Chain A
Amino acid sequence: ETGVTQSPTHLIKTRGQQVTLRCSSQSGHNTVSWYQQALGQGPQFIFQYYREEENGRGNFPPRFSGLQFPNYSSELNVNALELDDSALYLCASSLAQGAETQYFGPGTRLLVL
């Protein structure tokens, strides 16, 4: 059974640029959630995708957008990067919408200069 994978592992961007982060969910999981973890903080919920539709969103501006594909993999896009977007971005998959347990990937560390 393959776990949750994310790419790239590390990324450096400059302010104003755009970035796309990718996530492959665990085999058999159709729901993907994205979280932002700033240094020294707990993760913050960005949004969740279930069967290619957004299923809830946290307190993040519209420049954070996402996508889920028919194979349940997902992308997180961030436009007009700001310095405060520097963080570890975590993807988690779960068996179904409303499933209690989420399984996390290793994360993508984004640095915005």
Chain B
Amino acid sequence: GDSVTQMEGPVTLSEEAFLTINCTYTATGYPSLFWYVQYPGEGLQLLLKATKADDKGSNKGFEATYRKETTSFHLEKGSVQVSDSAVYFCALSDAGNNRKLIWGLGTSLAVNP
């Protein structure tokens, strides 16, 4: 079945450092890909998405490119801030009519001042 694999955390960075969180997927068909963020004590917020190969999703300085050839959707940010500290989840929506989301385990990011 479809699955998502994320790099394990926790990831600890200094403010203004470059961030990469790796995400690869296995899917039949052509899923849409998502990054969601979960701040401490809160629910999940959509960060960005891409719906087809070579699409780039971007939001709040974060970017991810849908790479069909490597089945990847890595999250990047050029300069992280303390306020970016959160858990980041990579997900795909399956090809069924309910488009249920299949999730990675999440990667915890801590940014120190």
Instruction: Please report the total number of A residues contacting B with Cβ < 8 Å.
Output: 27
B101 and A35: CB pair below 8 A?
A: yes
The residue in chain B whose Cβ has the minimal distance to the Cβ of A109 is B41
B residues in contact with A2, CB < 8 Å = none
* A7 at interface, CB cutoff 8 A: no
- Contact mask B16-51 → A, CB, 8 Å, 1/0? 000000000000000010101000001111100101
Contacts of B100 in A (CB 8 A): 33, 45, 48, 56, 58
Are A99 and B104 touching (Cβ within 8 A)?
no
Using CB atoms, name the residue of chain B closest to A44. B103
Q: How many A-B residue pairs have CB under 8 A?
A: 65
Q: Select the residue from B4, B42, B44, B98 with max chain A CB neighbours within 10 A.
A: B98
Q: Does B66 have its Cβ within 8 Å of any Cβ on chain A?
A: no
| Among candidates B44, B49, B89, B98, residue contacting A48 with C-beta atoms closer than 8 Å | B98
A42-B98 contact in complex given A100-B49, A103-B46, A106-B43, C-beta closer than 8 Å? no
A97 within 8 A of B: yes
Please judge, given known A-B contacts A42-B89, A42-B104, A101-B49, whether A107 and B43 are in contact too, CB under 8 Å: yes
Bound Cα distance A99, B43 (Å): 20
What string of 1s and 0s marks CB contacts (under 8 Å) between A16-54 and chain B? 000000000000000001010000111111001010000
B104 and chain A: residue at smallest CB distance: A42
Quick one: closest B residue to A105, CB to CB? B43
**In the assembly, what is the distance between CA of A45 and CA of B94, in Å?**
11
Q: Can you give 26 A-B contacts (C-beta < 8 A)?
A: A41-B106, A42-B89, A42-B91, A42-B103, A42-B104, A43-B44, A43-B103, A45-B100, A45-B101, A45-B102, A56-B97, A56-B98, A92-B101, A97-B97, A98-B98, A98-B99, A100-B49, A100-B99, A101-B34, A101-B46, A102-B46, A104-B36, A104-B44, A104-B46, A105-B43, A106-B43
Point out residues on B near A: beta carbons under 8 Å. 4, 32, 34, 36, 42-46, 49, 51, 89, 91, 93, 96-106
